[in-house]
Amino acid sequence: MSEPHGVREYLLAFADDEHLMGQQHTEWIGVAPFLEEDLAVSSIGQDELGHAALLYELVLDLEGVEATDLALDALAFDRPSHGYRCCHLVEYTTNDWAEALVRHWIYDTFEAMRWQLVAGSSLPKLASVARKALQEEAFHRRHADALLDKLLDAPEARDRILEALGAVYPLVEGLCEPVEGEAAAMSAGMAAASTADLLEPLHQAIEARFGRSDSIGSRTASLQNRQNRRTTRSADFDPLLQRMREVLDYDPGAVW
């Protein structure tokens, strides 16, 4: 795979993860456990969508397309489902707040590591976005950690959190799955190491956070086959994309 194509795939996977994670946060505003949490989740959601927008802009840069709202939205919303490069963890649809919190912690832990990999990227704009994003990620992690510190100490809440971890855990490996073309992107100096190299540190961070529990006793190796280098979508994706596109599809010629 050529370097430019590899770079595009690499950025797209990053952007799609951020986009869908931000999208998942938007579902919680107004229905989180208390008002402060409504406010926090909407801030974090805005940050993730903002990262997605900046990363999509970099993809448009590569294509020589000006990053207008229309061009950005065409890239963010108008691809066929097989054209997306997100992982299944961010596609996962849940109305369980414990699962949402555990995913938030895992995703942001991974995301901080991922931004570190590109902090010295040969793409100056990406390195600059990484510096901004890393500052925000520190707040995201602090937010999730503060909640987990307390919830893991309370017996009933601990059970719920570990049960949620069990539900989300099989999707963790896919978070670290690279796209086809990542090697080409790396030889172009895009990132300091492969996304796959984050899997072991992420596992260690999860064990340090949640302890060694039955929930994470068995690591699954099957997910990489299901994601197929992030080219295959989970069952949750199509309904999610449909929901995101509902207004856009109402009148494809419209500007909103």
Partner 1 sequence: MARSWATMEDFEAFLDDGGLVEADDPMPDAYRQAVFAFIEMHANSELMGGLTERDWIPKTPGLRHKMAVLAKTQDEIGHGHLLYMVAADLGVKTRVEMLEDLFAGRSRFHNVFHYRAVTWGDQVAIAFLVDAAALISQQAVFKNCSYGPYKRILRRIIAEEGFHMRLGEDRMLRIAEGTDRQRLMFQESLNRWFWPALQLFGPDSESDDVLLRWHIKSERNEVLRDRWVQRFVPMLQSYGFTIPAPDMRWDAVTHRWDVGPIDWEPLKRTLAQGGPDSSRRIREAAGSWSRTAWVRAALSADLSDNGVADNCAGNGSTSTGGS
Q: How far is the CB of 44 from partner 1 (least distance, A)?
A: 10
Nearer to partner 1, 120 or 211 (CB): 211
Residue 69 binds partner 1 (CB under 8 A): yes
Q: How far is the CB of 79 from partner 1 (least distance, A)?
A: 13
Q: Which long-range contacts (CB under 8 A, 24 or more apart) does 93-99 make?
A: 93/24, 93/236, 93/239, 93/240, 94/167, 95/27, 96/164, 96/167, 97/28, 97/32, 97/33, 98/160, 98/161, 98/163, 98/164, 99/164, 99/167, 99/168
**Region 39-68 residues binding partner 1, contact defined as CB under 8 A:** 39, 42-43, 45-46, 49-50, 52-53, 56
CB 18 within 8 Å of CB 47: no
Q: How far is the CB of 29 from partner 1 (least distance, A)?
A: 5
CB 150 within 8 Å of CB 161: no
Residues that bind partner 1 (CB under 8 A): 19, 22-23, 26-27, 29-36, 38-39, 42-43, 45-46, 49-50, 52-53, 56, 69, 72-73, 76-77, 97, 147, 150-151, 153-154, 156-157, 160, 243-244, 246-248, 250-251, 253-256
